[in-house]
Amino acid sequence: MIIEKIVGNINEMDQEEVNKLHKEKVYLESAHLVKRIQRVETDHGREVGIRLKEPRDLVAGDVLFMDEENMIIVDVLSDDLLVISPRTMHEMGTIAHQLGNRHLPAQFEESDMLVQYDYLVEELLQGLGIPFKREDRKVKQAFRHIGHSHD
């Protein structure tokens, strides 16, 4: 089976209809959400080729296939993350500036900043006294580097 477009996202569908269908999941590392072409296997052993025509990242909950009885859904494996919880705007600005200088991609959930684990960032946070914790957590989308040059 070759998937060329996303059917929709399970979180935006009628849950009553979704609950009637047999679900298979494709578990991806967050870094693989940006790949438009890849071969994957569902949790039921079905091999699926993904070759997206449109330039878009996969997101947790994307439906790759759906018919009257079945659906195949994208799920994301947990990442090793630093969950940074600045207490003040000054702490947020300080750590955002430091991470920006390192070109580290970050995501935000409520008042937390999420970055992939890096022992140097952990040491930096300890040195600055900014609250953080290390945890395995699923993210909904890939950590994406933003193109930039120092011209």
Residues 77-136: tens digit of each pLDDT: 999 999 999 999 999 999 999 998 888 888 898 889 999 999 999 999 999 999 999 999
Would you say the CATH fold of 79-137 matches that of 2-76? no
pLDDT surpasses 60 at 20: yes
When pLDDT is cut at 50, 70 and 90, the band that residue 148 belongs to is very low
Q: Which CATH architecture has domain 79-137?
A: 2-Layer Sandwich (3.30)
Q: How many percent of the chain have pLDDT more than 90? A: 70
Q: Single out the residue of 145, 116, 142 nearest to residue 34, CA to CA.
A: 142
Q: How many percent of the chain have pLDDT more than 70? A: 95
Question: What pLDDT score does 149 carry?
Answer: 47
**12: exposed, middle or buried (C-beta count within 10 Å: 0-12, 13-18, 19+)?**
exposed
Question: What pLDDT score does 46 carry?
Answer: 93
Query: Domain spanning 2-76: which CATH class is it, in words?
Result: mainly beta
Question: What pLDDT score does 146 carry?
Answer: 57
- Residue 145 CA neighbour count, 13 Å, CB half: 8
Q: Where are the domains of the chain?
A: 2-76, 79-137
Degrees, nearest 5: CA angle 142-19-71: 55
> Could you give the strand order of the β-sheet that contains 112-116, starting from the edge strand earlier in sequence?
107-109, 112-116, 79-84, 132-137
Token couple for 137 = 């957590």
Residue type, 42: T
| Beta pairing class for 22-28 and 70-76 | parallel
Question: What pLDDT score does 147 carry?
Answer: 53
The CA-atom distances, in angstroms, between 111 and each of 15, 81, 82, 137 are 29, 15, 14, 16
When pLDDT is cut at 50, 70 and 90, the band that residue 145 belongs to is low
60 neighbors 141 (Cβ within 8 angstroms): yes
